[in-house]
Amino acid sequence: MRRHIWVGAVIALAVALPVAARAEVVDITWDAAGRFERQLTVAPGKFAEVCGKLNPPADVQWQFSGNVPLNFNIHYHEGKAVKFPAKQDDVAKGSGKLGVKMQQDYCWMWTNKSDGDVKMSFSLQKR
């Protein structure tokens, strides 16, 4: 009987671990006013990434804040190269404007290098 309980606990743990270990990747879904907002919790050692295709000419005003500093960047890919229109390390909040000069999938990314959960919120406004 104890063996069945132990095996059941191991299986439950194995199923739960991949879910807990995942980073969060979110597709941008603009509302009618061209806005996208979200609140996220970033686990220790993990990241949250928000991505969407943007076409020129467009500007995106962005801002974020977290309860603990994070590493932040906006990036896109050109072949195997990664380009960073914005990059800041160890910041609890930030804001700026992304000027879209070429059609790309742009990603806003926050990485949690701390040993605890980080609660954060952000907003993007397309103009």
Q: For 56-123, give the DSSP string.
A: SSEEEEEEEEEEEEEEEEEEEEETTEEEEEEEEEEEEEEEEEEEE-S-EEEEEEEE--SSS-EEEEEE
Report pLDDT digits (tens) over 77-86.
999 999 999 9
Q: What is the pLDDT of residue 31?
A: 98
Q: Whole-model pTM?
A: 0.81
What is the CATH number assigned to the segment(s) 23-126? 2.60.120.380
Reported as a single tens digit per residue, the pLDDT across 86-108 is 999 999 999 999 999 999 999 99
Q: What is the pLDDT of residues 23-55, one digit of tens each?
A: 789 999 999 999 999 999 999 999 999 999 999
